[in-house]
Each structure stands twice: as C-alpha cells, then as structure tokens.
C-alpha cells in the first residue's frame, strides 16, 4: 500500500536535451547582456564628450603628452571590440540554450574566459569555464546533433 501523502512520481517527458546546459547558458546570457549594455552606455558617454565640446575644454587643460582625443579614440575602438565580443557571447549562449549551434556555443564560452575581452571582464570567466565543462560532456555534444 502506498502512502497517500507522498508526492506523486511524475516525470516530465524528456526532450533528449540534458538539463544541465540551461543554467550556464542563461548565466552567460545575463553577463553578456550586462556587458553589451555597459559598453553601449560607455560609447554614448564618449560621444557626448565629443559632441558637447567638453573634450575640447579638457584638451585645453591637458598638461600631459597625450591628447584627450587620442584617449577617446582608443577607448572607443576598445569599447567596440568589447561590445562585439560580448554580443557574440550572447549569441553563442542563446545557441547553447536552444541546442542549435555547438561551434558557436563553444566559441562563445572560450571568448568569455579570455580576461579583459570576455563579458564583464572577470565575471564571465567562471561562467565560461562552467559552460566549457558542460559542453565537453558527450551527452551534451550528442544533443546538439
């Protein structure tokens, strides 16, 4: 006789997709989304400095050898690189969550573990390692096929 107060033994139908992929994919999506948002906000701030004339006033007060325009140019180029890398990590994490493109998912996880290139600098490293460990499992590789 079974216990009427115990929880039922209900198992949701399996889709053949390992459930451990979802958590690192969502973590990468959140971190990459934050990095893209911060990057775009930073570029807007640089554009404001250029178009408002504030950078010209800073250039007049500059005592050092470097031009403030050069500083803004380098920061803008590096910001665009970081936005592109974070956007690709976001794309790869979505592919990982949906089991659609193993190569993009693995490449995104690799990009996220590169210090100062991945999303949110060092915050993306543990999530990227987690994603790489999960993606290396044979049952996960098979689920992408």
Q: Decide if 12 is inside a domain.
A: no
Q: What is the pTM of this model?
A: 0.81
- For residues 36-54, one letter each, b for 16 or more C-beta atoms within 10 angstroms of the residue's C-beta and e for the rest, the string is bebbeebbeebeebbeeee
Residue 135: give the domain boundaries: 19-143
Crossing angle for the helix pair 22-52 and 54-61, to the nearest 10 degrees: 70
Distance, in Å, from the CA atom of 9 to the CA atom of 75, rounded to the nearest integer, reads: 57
Across the range 113-141, mean pLDDT stands at: 90
pLDDT of residue 64: 64
- Report the number of distinct structural domains present in the chain: 1
Residue 60 within any structural domain of the chain: yes
Query: Residues 5-22: pLDDT tens digits?
Result: 766 654 444 567 888 999
Whether 102 and 34 have beta carbons less than 8 Å apart is answered as no
> Is 4 inside a domain boundary?
no
Q: Is residue 136 included in any domain, yes or no? A: yes
Distance from C-alpha of 143 to C-alpha of 137, rounded to nearest angstrom? 10
Whether residue 26 lies inside any domain: the answer is yes
């Amino acid at each position: 006789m079974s216990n009427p107060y115990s929880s039922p033994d209900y198992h949701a139908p399996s889709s053949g997709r390992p459930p451990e992929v979802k958590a690192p994919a969502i973590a990468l999506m959140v971190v990459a989304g934050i990095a893209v948002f911060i990057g775009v906000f930073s570029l807007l701030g640089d554009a404001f400095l250029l178009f408002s004339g504030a950078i010209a006033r800073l250039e007049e007060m500059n005592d050092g050898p470097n031009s403030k325009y050069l500083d803004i140019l380098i920061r803008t180029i590096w910001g665009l690189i970081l936005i592109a890398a974070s956007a690709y990590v976001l794309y790869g994490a979505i592919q990982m969550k949906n089991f659609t493109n193993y190569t993009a998912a693995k490449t995104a996880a690799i990009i996220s573990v590169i210090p100062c290139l991945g999303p949110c600098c060092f915050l993306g490293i543990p999530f990227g390692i987690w994603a790489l460990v999960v993606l290396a499992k044979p049952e996960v590789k098979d689920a992408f096929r």
